[in-house]
Structure 1
């Protein structure tokens, strides 16, 4: 229990919440209520809706109310490590959000509202460590996304629209029941996209960097060859066609 902080059943007062507001290094107001033993979303903090960042992580919260949309200036929302199984549709109204972390909860695919697609400014979205067996294709419309966490879920496939987001730098899909082919294709697609973004001439690279690029390309070509070997016939370019030289020297062949 935080000293003087919580009321009955893991609740806090407005006075305590005000004392939990901190100023970040870039001058933003952060309301930090992490690790407070909260069992419900504290309604009193709706009176502090002018904060820029809200941290409710590592509590015992099961439900986020629709009133979360009152945080009109929110750019950073951390809800990780709670017991949330559904996000409110109104979360899509917080269009200022740059960062949303709901990892390590009880989220199912039906608990992801379509309104997430309205978060046009979001850059980091962490949905890892939940119970998702699919994710909405509409997440592929969030063109500002830099990082997406989908690790430790129940996903059999990742929408291609997500792996092709123009600004995506990190896509974590570890520990999902994805097929090997799916993972290989995702890897190739992401490498191709990055190559297009960072094309340089060999003369502009130092020796170690050039060698690193060459090794990466060899790895790509090897993976491509493995993927295509099952679908293409093997061609032996040095074999002589029948009825040509062999026909002219039949005795030698015998």
Structure 2
């Protein structure tokens, strides 16, 4: 199947998806058919902050029509923050939508995790990932630290790179969630957090939202159902 990605939100997230898809299809010995269109990260973050779902859906709809013209069979959004309007978008999308939140929810059900720390944008953290996770408690940073994490994440996503100060903010928040709030794992509630945390070196278990989404895209494109 021909994969359509809405990328650019942010650039590092798009690169993360692209590299993982290339590796997965190479491992499967299958040709990768992929088209990527560009959405603007600052525009998304402004619409997210304003709660303007209609404006973001209009952008997605226009870009997805372009993907359909290119021959894509389905569309996926390479941004967790970009899923704030996903239900509205799914209702009008020119292509079937493979959304990230369903993949995350299914993973949590499979693993049996019950208390998970959450980092990402303010909306992701305050809504506990848009209220879509029913089988576990998502725990965001407390007090002023939530706003500090949001500001660092927004700057990192727009730049496509992480500074030492931003890295320190995310790691301090993760340590607090793990050591003081007793979470079992840390959810990377922003795709660009892959610039900071890696499963091979992390001192605590990770719920890699982008990785789960890529896995779902690969399985769908190759016609292989994910395990239940």
Which bracket does the TM-score occupy, shorter chain normalised?
under 0.3
Q: Taking structure 2 as the reference length, what is the TM-score of the superposition?
A: 0.24
Higher normalized strand content (fraction of residues) = 2
**More relative contact order in 1 or in 2 (CA 8 Å, sep 6+)?**
2
Q: Which one has the bigger helix percentage?
A: 2
Please identify the structure whose Cα radius of gyration is greater: 1
